Amino acid sequence: MSELLLDADEVVVDYPVKGFRKEPFRALKGVSLDIRPGETVGLVGESGSGKTTLGRAVLGLAPVTGGAIRYKGRDISRLGRKDRRALSSEIQVVFQDPYTSLNPSLTIEQILVEPLTVRKVPAKEASKRVRDLLDQVGLPASAAGRLPREFSGGQRQRIAIARALALEPRLIVCDEPVSALDLSTQARVLDLFKDIQDRTGVAYLFVSHDLAVVRHLSHRVAVMYHGEIVEWGSGDQVTAHPEHPYTQRLFLAAPVPDPDRQEQRRADRERLLAAHAEQNLQAGV
């Protein structure tokens, strides 16, 4: 696991803002992180901190105006369409909403065959691969002939994961892939992600606002705040010794199963917030 699969180096993303002479909005202010083969890097942070933007930059969907994103050593941050399409067999995505990410008029077989057809996989082989993909995500072969609306949210997310796996990618950007699901379904889908990684060695950039989800799955965790990474390290490191005040608040706010610890956390959090309020007061913020 020593060689880097992905290396984001001081990435800047500026979104254009409509209006005469309006300054662009800087959503990423020089973000650096790396992902090793087979590793899960969790990206956590509050809404608007830039998590999705970083995922989109990796996928070539956000305007990178500074820095570099290297995949296996090659800068992929400003590729043309053709080169980007060629990369889709290496880097894939699973979005948050399984209700909108699947074409409602296609059968599951058609959805899963599509990326294979683009790669000119022969029909017979593609059909066998569809059954294999369904099996990998725990769905029966009979699912192939049905439409997305016939499945539950968790099952649809399994189908979206199967589609992402079709071309055997080395990296999957998972953008809040379980946040639209209820808690018990979340746990099962997270287990599936883990299971697939154990079997295939795929790496994940796992975006979530939910610390418990990220901690469950990630080898390393990055915490984003206002377009910057403010914390970066192993899950244990970041959890045990959060350095940035935002991370401290985030961790103290995360639910824990033990009621005594929960109460201790609540008290710690209130103390911390009071201390920050006092600091701000003194600084005139």
Ligand X SMILES: Nc1ncnc2c1ncn2[C@@H]1O[C@H](COP(=O)(O)OP(=O)(O)OP(=O)(O)O)[C@@H](O)[C@H]1O
Count of residues near ligand X by CB under 6 A = 12
> Are 231 and 244 spatial neighbours (Cβ–Cβ below 8 Å)?
yes
Q: Report the site for ligand X in 237-256 (rule: CB under 6 A).
A: none
CB of 207 to ligand X, least distance (A): 7
By CB under 6 A, residue 209 contacts ligand X: yes
User: Which window, 51-59, 113-121, 191-199, 228-236, contacts ligand X (CB under 6 A)?
Assistant: 51-59
Q: Name the token pair of 73.
A: 């050593």
191/207 Cα distance (integer angstroms):
16
By CB under 6 A, residue 223 contacts ligand X: no
Query: How far are the Cα atoms of 22, 103, 148, 172, 181 from residue 98, in angstroms, in the given order?
Result: 36, 10, 9, 16, 9
| Contact pick of 12, 31, 35, 51 for ligand X (by CB under 6 A) | 51
Q: Of 92 and 96, which has the nearer Cβ to ligand X? A: 96
By CB under 6 A, residue 177 contacts ligand X: no
| Contact pick of 42, 50, 115, 169 for ligand X (by CB under 6 A) | 50
Residue type, 92: Q
160/22 Cα distance (integer angstroms):
38
| Contact pick of 11, 42, 49, 134 for ligand X (by CB under 6 A) | 49
Q: Of 62 and 111, which has the nearer Cβ to ligand X? A: 62
CB of 230 to ligand X, least distance (A): 13
By CB under 6 A, residue 52 contacts ligand X: yes
By CB under 6 A, residue 25 contacts ligand X: yes
90/179 Cα distance (integer angstroms):
25
CB of 222 to ligand X, least distance (A): 12
CB of 19 to ligand X, least distance (A): 12
CB of 118 to ligand X, least distance (A): 27
By CB under 6 A, residue 173 contacts ligand X: no
Strands 171-175 and 91-94: parallel
By CB under 6 A, residue 12 contacts ligand X: no
3 state SS of 38: coil
By CB under 6 A, residue 47 contacts ligand X: yes
> Are 8 and 33 spatial neighbours (Cβ–Cβ below 8 Å)?
yes
39/125 Cα distance (integer angstroms):
30
User: Which alpha helices (H) appear in the chain, and where do they start and end?
Assistant: 51-58, 81-86, 108-118, 123-136, 153-165, 183-200, 211-217, 235-240, 245-253, 259-283
Binding residues for ligand X, per CB under 6 A?
A: 15, 25, 27, 45, 47-53, 209
